[in-house]
Amino acid sequence: MKTLKDLGDLKGKKVLVRADFNVPLKGTTITDDGRIRAALPTIEQLRADGAKVILMAHLGRPKGKVVPELSLAPVAKRLGELLGVNVPLANDTYGEDAQAKVAAMNDGDVVLLQNVRFNPEETSKDDAERAAYAKKIAALGDVFVSDGFGVVHRAQGSDYDVATDLPSAAGKLIEKEVKALSRATESPERPFTVVLGGSKVSDKLGVIENLLSKADRLLIGGGMAFTFLAAKGYEVGTSLLEQDQIDTVKGYIETAKKNGVELVLPVDVVVNKGFPSDDVPADPEVVDADKMPADKMGLDIGPKSQQIFHDKIVDSKTVVWNGPAGVFEIKEFEAGTRAVAQGLVDATANGAFTIVGGGDSASAVRNLGFPEDGFSHISTGGGASLEFLEGKTLPGLKVLE
């Protein structure tokens, strides 16, 4: 994979950078700027090299329409604060305003183009349509740097297609992501523990399948744990359950046994009358995993499970975690996710190599107040890191080879 140093002298060159600025917003307030900060090393390197840095990114799912609430204006503002410079936002992606703002740039300047997903061609399944659109973006720059790890698992116009039009390389973030995930999957120090959570088993079928031949132990929490518990014949009440995956999960339980992979499921669960809302108060109760009431919903792993998960993680040399252990956004059901995060922090302090696999897990560690340097690597790409762990070829990386 080509990296920044393969691009040669960039002084005075217009460098198009695909970043991942898909940050969570409350109104126009960014609630977690982790993805913006993750892009800074590449941007600062390019500025130091005297390049004109033209950034592009998406925000949310506007589905090819201009949705004012999904403008990248809050991102331009926050980025400017972090860099200590003014970052103008073009009001289009490749049109007159983008062209004018790029033409006015001096060496070291930074411009952000408007949300690429305001253009229907960005995510088009029609290769020719996407390629024609990408050429209009490519006309703004001299070289292309791919640094949005969160989008490399899809062939999209501003990422995959632009890379075929210009001399291209991976930015520092993608280089770091690939190095970290490769280290965990290709030559992990053992014991190698994988912690999976989140709501659905179906989201992680490929990962489980691939890791059952690589990991030493698999810890299952979150909503997906209830499909595993149901596969063991347990009552799971009104908890998240994928009935159509029970036979698949039974197969995983067998494969784990056959491969000598330790499969760790919750032994106790924190339940509630339903998902907390205006009508349903948060009234947590701890029950054994095999004694869940039929009218209650599991929303977190229980205290005994928290201790077990923590200890298994600490007793590891490589840990990959993807997906929270419970509904961490609600105080009463955050303890399981907190125990997993603390386990990774303690394992890191013991010299283990630990990865927080993007998406909700990355959001959880920040929202729960854990220091980012408490982990070896926090991935910026939920879906991309999952597909990497599945062993899939990611088009946005392949095109950089």
Structure tokens at 330: 């609600």
Does residue 395 sit within a domain? Answer: no
Contacts of 393 (CB under 8 A, 6+ apart): none
Rounded to an integer, the average pLDDT of 101-121 is 98
Question: Using 50, 70 and 90 to split pLDDT, how confident is the model at 354?
Answer: very high
Verify that 86 and 223 share a domain, yes or no.
no
Residues 254-275: pLDDT tens digits?
999 999 999 999 999 999 999 9
Read off the pLDDT band of 9 (50, 70, 90): very high
Residue 153 has pLDDT above 80, yes or no: yes
Query: Could you give the CA distance from residue 169 to residue 1 in angstroms, rounded to a whole number?
Result: 7
Q: Cis omega (within 30 of 0) on the bond before 395?
A: no
Q: pTM higher than 0.85, yes or no? A: yes
Place of tokens 């339903």: 274
Distance (Å, whole) CA 282 – CA 264: 27
Q: What is the mean pLDDT of residues 289-304?
A: 98
Checking if the pLDDT of 383 tops 90, the result is no
Q: How confident is the model at residue 382 (pLDDT cuts 50, 70, 90)?
A: confident
Of 173, 196, 216, the domain-final residue: 173
Structural domain includes residue 396: no
- Are the beta carbons of 88 and 106 closer than 8 angstroms? no
Q: What is the pLDDT of residue 32?
A: 86
Number of domains the chain contains: 2
pLDDT on residue 381: 87
Out of 173, 197, 215, pick the residue that ends a domain: 173
Q: Residue 344 is part of which domain span?
A: 180-390
pLDDT band at 236 (very low <50, low <70, confident <90, very high): very high
The per-residue pLDDT of the chain, averaged, comes to: 96
Please, which pLDDT band fits residue 298 given cuts at 50, 70 and 90?
A: very high
- Better pLDDT: 146 or 366: 146
Q: What is the pLDDT of residues 43-76, one digit of tens each?
A: 999 999 999 999 999 999 999 999 999 999 999 9
CATH of the domain at 158: 3.40.50.1260
User: Residue 390: is its pLDDT beyond 90?
Assistant: no
Is 146 part of a structural domain of the chain? Answer: yes
What secondary structure, in 3-state letters, does the chain show? CCEHHHHCCCCCCEEEEECCCCCCEECCEECCCHHHHHHHHHHHHHHHCCCEEEEECCCCCCCCCCCHHHCCHHHHHHHHHHHCCCCCECCCCCCHHHHHHHHCCCCCCEEECCCHHHCHHHHCCCHHHHHHHHHHHHCCCCEEEECCHHHCCCCCHHHHHHHHHCCEEECHHHHHHHHHHHHHHHCCCCCEEEEECCCCCHHHHHHHHHHCCCCCEEEECCCCHHHHHHHCCCCCCCCCCCHHHHHHHHHHHHHHHHHCCEEECCCEEEEECCCCCCCCCCCCEEEECCCCCCCCEEEEECHHHHHHHHHHHHCCCEEEEECCCCCCCCHHHCHHHHHHHHHHHHHHHCCCEEEECCHHHHHHHHHCCCCHHHCCEECCCHHHHHHHHHCCCCHHHHCCC
Pair of tokens at residue 313: 């993680």
Catalytically active residues, by annotation = 35, 200, 359, 383
Residue 358 has pLDDT above 80, yes or no: no
Distance of CA 312 to the CA centre of its chain: 24
User: 193 and 107 share a domain?
Assistant: no
Residues 331 and 245 in one domain: yes
**Binding site membership for substrate: which residues?**
20-22, 35, 58-61, 117, 154
Give the residue ranges of the annotated binding site for ATP: 204, 298, 329, 358-361
Condensed to tens digits (0 to 9), the pLDDT of residues 167-212 reads: 999 999 999 999 999 999 898 999 999 999 998 888 898 899 999 9
Sign of the CA dihedral with 324 first, then 327, 329, and 331 last: negative
Binding residues for (2R)-3-phosphoglycerate: 35, 117, 154
| 281 pLDDT above the threshold of 80 | yes
Binding site: which residues?
A: 20-22, 35, 58-61, 117, 154, 204, 298, 329, 358-361
**Token pair in block for residue 5:** 């140093």
* Whether residue 263 sits in one domain with residue 192: yes
Residue 64 forms part of a structural domain? yes
**Domain check: are 249 and 185 in the same one?**
yes
pLDDT the model gives residue 360: 87
